[in-house]
Structure 1
Amino acid sequence: MNTQMSSNFSAPTYARLREQIRSDVVSGIWKLGQHMTLAELCAHYGVSANPVREALHQLQGEGVVEMRLNRGAVVRQVDAAFVKNVYDVRGAIEGMLAAEAARRATKDDIVRITGFVEAYEQAVATGDIDRIVQANRALHRAITRIADNPLALEIFDGRSSLIDALRRTLGNRPGRLEEIIVEHREILDAIASGDAERAFKSAQQHTAHARDHMLDNIKEAAGTTA
């Protein structure tokens, strides 16, 4: 089944294609560790080879895929070491972003991120995995925008896609999504109160809990397949 790329005419074809492939990794269309041939990608997205090659080169730079000479690319496989490294760095950066957001946030900003927190809670209530992933990423992106640090978003977009794809594969243990709701509310309250120190600690704890949960899931999955 072909994927129709969104018609964002302000971006070149390869940039739109890069975003679409990344999104399709998250949604599970392309699996972690899967080999994608150039011909397969051209047919799937209805584009020529040149933008596919450029999109793959950019995704390789983000760490999402590994290129294969004249044979397309392989979606990067994710292991426990990768997850730990990403979350350790992410915790430091997200703590910094939350603290800066607490210093900068306007009333309109608070209203906006409150809406994203509520959207996540509504998604959890429906059990819709796509909505849960999208709402979570939208919330974290909103905090990054308030902190006015687009570089942080650029650094983590690709690697976060791989983490989201793994989370979709492994699932969440019972009660984890409800814990995330509480953690989101704590971060929101700290930012709304202008308490940069509490926002920093809350965001770091949120990331550490996510890391530990993911590592536990990886161990459990390895045990069931051993």
Structure 2
Amino acid sequence: MLDDRQTRTEKLAGEIADAILEGTLEPGSRLDEHMLAGRYGTSRTPVREALRQLATTGLIELRPRRGAIVAKVTSEQLEMLFIAMGELEATCARLSAMSMTPIERRRLGAHYDQMGEMVAQDDVPAYTAANTALHAMFYAGAHNPVLSEMTAGLRRRLAPFRRAQFRAPGRLARSHAEHGAVVRAVLAGDAASAHAAMLHHVSLVEDAFEQLAGAPAGTAPEAARMKAG
């Protein structure tokens, strides 16, 4: 039951995040729990939990006596977050190449192959979930709990922006190809190449989001449009 509730909350948080990134919910607007519950056909409890979850991403702010407000994320903030994300993920990939066990490497390779089938079927929801799991394998494979926790926390903060990239045409196939470079380097134990490939991948994730954000007004948040400019 707890897993079902958590899944519903995550799904709702994703839907609200998408509305913010698409510009339907504009920066500065108040997110009323009653309104959101009616809009998404649910009760206030999962709405409240979803808003708390989104507050950790920086997409919304929880203010005393005002409730939840859609935050205005600046281009500078996004750039700093993506730079930090790239450095942390690249370090995880480098350490994974050095530290992953044979079992972890086999699981990584198998998971990557399964993602190829999702690309062929253009299954965005499945690929999005598998993408998160793939990166988690690199975090765990680094065998450094402190680094893993830091990286996973920053990823949660950037999750709505990273998920939005998959709406860009052809992004699924490009993402899979970028992952392939990282996976091959890790499986070969090539730490330097794994680091470089992951750093390159995260920079292209940012580029994909910028291109999507550069779409006509109303399809992306104002902060993202500013960054794309």
TM over 0.5: yes
Tell me the residue number matched to 1:173: 169
Please tell me whether the aligned partners of residues 37 and 73 of structure 1 are also in contact (alpha carbons under 8 angstroms): yes
Counterpart among 43, 48, 54 of residue 46 in structure 1: 43
What is the aligned-residue identity percentage? 24
Alpha-carbon distance in structure 1 between the residues aligned to 2:114 and 2:71: 30
Alpha-carbon distance in structure 1 between the residues aligned to 2:135 and 2:103? 16
Question: Equivalents in 2 of 1:158, 1:203: separation in Å?
Answer: 19
Task: Give the structure 2 partner of residue 159 of structure 1.
Answer: 158
Check if 1:191 corresponds to 2:186.
yes
> Following the alignment from structure 2 to structure 1, what is the Cα–Cα distance between the partners of residues 66 and 77?
25
Counterpart in 1 of 2:122?
127
Query: What are structure 1's unaligned runs of at least 5 residues?
Result: 1-6
CA-to-partner distance for each residue in 1:9-60, whole Å, 9 max, x for gaps? 6x9x7x777644434446x4x4435253122455644354xx7556634532
Q: 1:126 to 1:77 in 2, by over 3 A?
A: farther
Q: Deviations over 1:106-127 (max 9, x none)?
A: 1111121122212221111111
Moved more, 54-63 or 135-144: 54-63
Whole-Å separation in 1 of the counterparts to 2:132 and 2:108: 12
Count of matched residue positions in the alignment of Structure 1 and Structure 2: 209
Quote the residue 1:215 is aligned against: 210
- Return the TM-score normalized by structure 1: 0.74
**Per-residue deviation, 1:95:** 0.5
Report what 1:109 is aligned to: 104
Query: TM (normalized to structure 2)?
Result: 0.74
Give the direction of change, closer, same or farther, for the CA distance of 1:21–1:81 in structure 2 (3 Å limit): farther
Task: After superposition, give the CA deviation of every residue in 1:121-174 in whole Å (9 maximum; x if it has no partner).
Answer: 111111122112112111111111222412310222132223313x25xx2234
- Tell me: CA distance 1:55–1:103, structure 2 relative to 1, closer, same or farther (3 Å): same
